[in-house]
Amino acid sequence: MKRLIIVSNRLPITVARGKKDSPLEFRSSIGGLSTGLSSFYRSYNALWIGWPGIAVDRLKEKDKDNIVERLSRDGCYPVFLTQREVDNYYHGFCNNVLWPLFHYFPSYVVNKNVFWETYKSVNQKFADTVAEFTDKNNTVWVHDYQLMLLPDMLRKRLEDARIGFFLHIPFPSYEIFRMLPYRKEILKGILGANLIGFHTYDYVRYFLESVRRILGIDSNLGYIYDKKHIIKADIFPIGINFEKFSVESTEIENETENVRNRIGDIKVILSVDRLDYTKGIIQKLQAFDRFLDRNPKYIGKVAMVIIVVPSRTNIGHYRALKNEIDELIGNINGKRSTFKWSPIHYLYRSLPFERLLALYRISDIALITPLRDGMNLVAKEFLASKRDGRGVLILSEMAGAAQELGEAVIVNPNDTNEIVDALEIALNMQEKEQVKRNRTMIGRLRRYDIIKWAVDFMGALDEVEKLQERLFMRLLNLNIKRKIIESYRKSNNRVLILDYDGTLVNFSSSPEEARPDRELLEILEKLSSDKRNSVVIISGRSKDTLSEWFDNLNIGIIAEHGAWIKCVGRDWQTIEPLTSEWKSVIKPILELYEDRTPGSFIEEKEFSLVWHYRRADSKLAALRAMELKNTLLEYVTNLGLEVMDGNKILEVKDAGVDKGRAALKWLANIDTNFVLAIGDDYTDENVFEALPESAYTIKVGLGFSKAKYNVISVEDVRSLLKELISGRVTE
Ligand code: GDG
């Protein structure tokens, strides 16, 4: 049966037990993910797998059975963890390593080998449990930083499974992420998924940059073409259960009235956060204190209600933060309170939902200033609760939500004065202006609610699967191979046009590794010793390198993307009269960019100049490449040149030279009835396009192409060539 399986560290239901042997309690979990997704999974008949929040050491066998049974009624299934696992995996690796690092607090990271080892083994435990419930018809949706190894662990067991992964916290910039000792394993783990979702475009960019710089895997418009599957990284900004917060009910109205009466007729600034150093609680308290200094007229007229939900108090930084908050609030209240008024109402606990909603409703301002936050649902919930559209949201630019809630008063949470200014702006904002700003944001929140978000994610997962199927349909299968071998066998005049890097050998930036190896030389030797074959290597490399590698074989060579051609036993010839006089104009321009972009370098071929920027800083290089291309375009048209924008290169060459024209020239003198062309990159597309319809054209890699078929790897190309030689398809 088709079923969705959601996997997250915590289940939407938490199991707790007070004293030893007291009965188990089952409560709804608090936190962004469970509040958000619980409405969706019920409507989707999904199974939710996760840790129920109690260590297995505290459970007897019959408790476990009881938990399994009770959770199953809510579509949940538990992964039981021991106290040791909870300590080392959850408190250890998740909350002492990943959480601080991904929120830009690297100095808070406490790293121990046992944390990592347990993180791996617990992810494996999740994989084992998920595998029990999964076959290839199911979709598995893995959530968050606690389970980043799980997608690949599942992929290894279930090759065809449909796996999505969503990260709820920020993905940090490369400079931060690279500090993680297990960065490769973590990236590979995530890449087991078909679809990888983030809240904002920046997180997607940082992730893809880390994948490129750490694993050397490139992406194209968010797609990564792996050997066996396609991976897409994209943005899905999480929404909220809009209806739940905009609801009209007597119960809520009464509660709102009740809270309003207790607080009195003053302006309310609301702050709601889990206890966490990422939430900027200290900074906002300091800003409120300064605001009162600067605006004595608000004394007695404004109060801050601050809710801090207890969290992770077993970690030193959290305990220290709690003490600091207590002390600061104590100081502010101590110095400013009167018998009738306190500037801060402090609640260190989790509130029932109705009370939270009532507080959202009566508050004039929500002050939400995290130093880093993946999204921040409280900001969205506050707006959704505003049925009349009044209220002002002050929001940190460091929260993912700021990308969508641009009409809020946006602040830098580290800038106390800016927060003070924002409070002044908010308190003085006309109601008309408040409603105007909020209406736009509320409209968006209503449209893109949590269900839309999840359905969108599922839809995108379907799309990736369909794309993968379409690309797989183009893969060279046994029947087509048989057909190729058959027509090869029947032909007495065959032409084989083979690209080199990425086609016959894996792409490598080191010249030594790029040399043809023994197996390849043997294949080429065998192919070219057959008198019926005309084999030609067609490459962007210089003619000197290609001569050195292939001169003693009985094959033709086309160098520099088609500028030079060398028939067997003859000298090199230019494809048509070419000049290189233009180099004296273009080279100084490239040199300027070489100097300004550390790591980049110029390669000079006889009829072309190439600026390579693979080894340079990616952002700087991308900027420089754009500038350089614009500069070059001003020159090249008059000189009859062309700028080719390649794989981390810009190449300037004669406009009339390309691999397609060279391939046609090669064919011109041969009366052939069998043409096979294989290549992997955009320069080979010219060949595929130029060849007659009857030619067999093959692209290496899964991307779309003008070639008729695709194969996945260099190894597949070599197998095909060996099969041509032997005349037999290996099954
Ligand atoms: C992670 C990311 C991302 C809070 N206090 C009470 C209460 N809450 C509920 C809120 C809200 C949720 O908890 C908090 O969500 P956040 O988004 O603010 O934060 P995280 O839990 O850290 O969540 C975050 C999120 O995942 C989703 O992707 O936005 O950036 O860190 O829903 O309403 N609920 C009740 N009483 C409280 O006192 N009942």
Listed by start position, the domains of the chain span 4-81+120-235, 242-447, 478-576+656-726, 595-653
Q: Which range, 355-364, 580-589, 657-666, has the best average confidence (pLDDT)?
A: 355-364
CATH of 595-653, one of 1.20.120, 3.30.160, 3.30.70, 1.10.20: 3.30.70
State the average pLDDT for the chain.
Answer: 92
Average pLDDT rounded to a whole number, residues 703-727: 92
The 10s digit of each residue's pLDDT in 87-134 is 999 999 999 999 999 999 999 999 999 999 999 999 999 999 999 998
Structure tokens at 259: 């809270």
- pLDDT reported for residue 687: 96
Q: Which atom number of ligand 1 is nearest to the Cα of residue 276? A: 22
Query: Quick check: CB of 375 below 6 Å from ligand 1?
Result: yes
Q: 450: Cβ–Cβ under 8 A, 6 or more apart, which residues?
A: 36, 37, 39, 40, 238, 239, 240, 241, 242
Give the Å distance between the CA of 368 and the centre of ligand 1: 12
CATH of 4-81+120-235, one of 3.40.50.2000, 3.40.710.10, 3.30.950.10, 3.40.5.90: 3.40.50.2000
Nearest CA to ligand 1 atom 28: 168
Among candidate residues 276, 499, 501, 681, the one labeled active-site is: 499
Average pLDDT rounded to a whole number, residues 179-197: 97
Query: Which residues on adjacent β-strands are paired with residue 395?
Result: 368, 410
Res. 353: pLDDT tops 90: yes
Q: Which range, 39-43, 293-297, 638-642, has the best average confidence (pLDDT)?
A: 293-297
Query: Which residues on adjacent β-strands are paired with residue 304?
Result: 269, 344
Which CATH superfamily, name and number, covers 242-447?
Glycogen Phosphorylase B; (3.40.50.2000)
- Say how many C-beta atoms besides its own lie within 10 A of residue 148's C-beta: 24
Average pLDDT rounded to a whole number, residues 653-675: 90
Identify the band that residue 36 occupies on the pLDDT scale cut at 50, 70 and 90: low
What share of the chain has pLDDT > 70, as a percent? 98
Class of domain 478-576+656-726: alpha beta
Does 242-447 match 4-81+120-235 at the fold level? yes
The 10s digit of each residue's pLDDT in 536-551 is 999 999 999 999 999 9
Of 19-33, 291-305, 565-579, 624-638, minimum mean pLDDT range: 19-33
Identify the band that residue 530 occupies on the pLDDT scale cut at 50, 70 and 90: very high
- pLDDT reported for residue 513: 76
More confident residue, 511 or 402: 402
- pLDDT reported for residue 379: 98
Nearest CA to ligand 1 atom 19: 32
Identify the band that residue 473 occupies on the pLDDT scale cut at 50, 70 and 90: confident
Torsion of CA 212, 215, 220, 224, to 10 degrees: -150
Torsion of CA 556, 558, 559, 560, to 10 degrees: 180
Q: Is 364 a catalytic residue?
A: no
What Å distances lie between residue 587 and 141, 630, 656, CA to CA?
Answer: 52, 15, 20
Give the Å distance between the CA of 671 and the centre of ligand 1: 72
Torsion-angle region of residue 391: left (phi > 0), alpha (psi -120 to 50) or beta? Answer: left
Query: Quick check: CB of 309 below 6 Å from ligand 1?
Result: yes
Identify the band that residue 470 occupies on the pLDDT scale cut at 50, 70 and 90: confident
Torsion-angle region of residue 210: left (phi > 0), alpha (psi -120 to 50) or beta? Answer: alpha
Query: Quick check: CB of 373 below 6 Å from ligand 1?
Result: yes
Measured N-to-C along each axis, helices 281-294 and 416-428 cross at an angle, to the nearest 10 degrees, of 60
Give the Å distance between the CA of 379 and the centre of ligand 1: 10
DSSP string, 433-475: HHHHHHHHHHHHHHHT-HHHHHHHHHHHHHHHHHHHHHHHHTB
The 10s digit of each residue's pLDDT in 612-642 is 998 888 778 888 998 898 888 888 888 889 8
Nearest CA to ligand 1 atom 32: 32
Identify the band that residue 31 occupies on the pLDDT scale cut at 50, 70 and 90: low
- Say how many C-beta atoms besides its own lie within 10 A of residue 165's C-beta: 28
What share of the chain has pLDDT > 90, as a percent? 76
Query: Quick check: CB of 538 below 6 Å from ligand 1?
Result: no
- Separation of alpha carbons 152 and 150, rounded Å: 6
Average pLDDT rounded to a whole number, residues 311-327: 93
- pLDDT reported for residue 509: 62
Identify the band that residue 506 occupies on the pLDDT scale cut at 50, 70 and 90: confident
Res. 508: pLDDT tops 90: no
Query: Quick check: CB of 385 below 6 Å from ligand 1?
Result: no
Give the Å distance between the CA of 132 and the centre of ligand 1: 31
Q: Which atom number of ligand 1 is nearest to the Cα of residue 379? A: 18
Structure tokens at 670: 């041969």
Identify the band that residue 510 occupies on the pLDDT scale cut at 50, 70 and 90: low
Res. 20: pLDDT tops 80: no
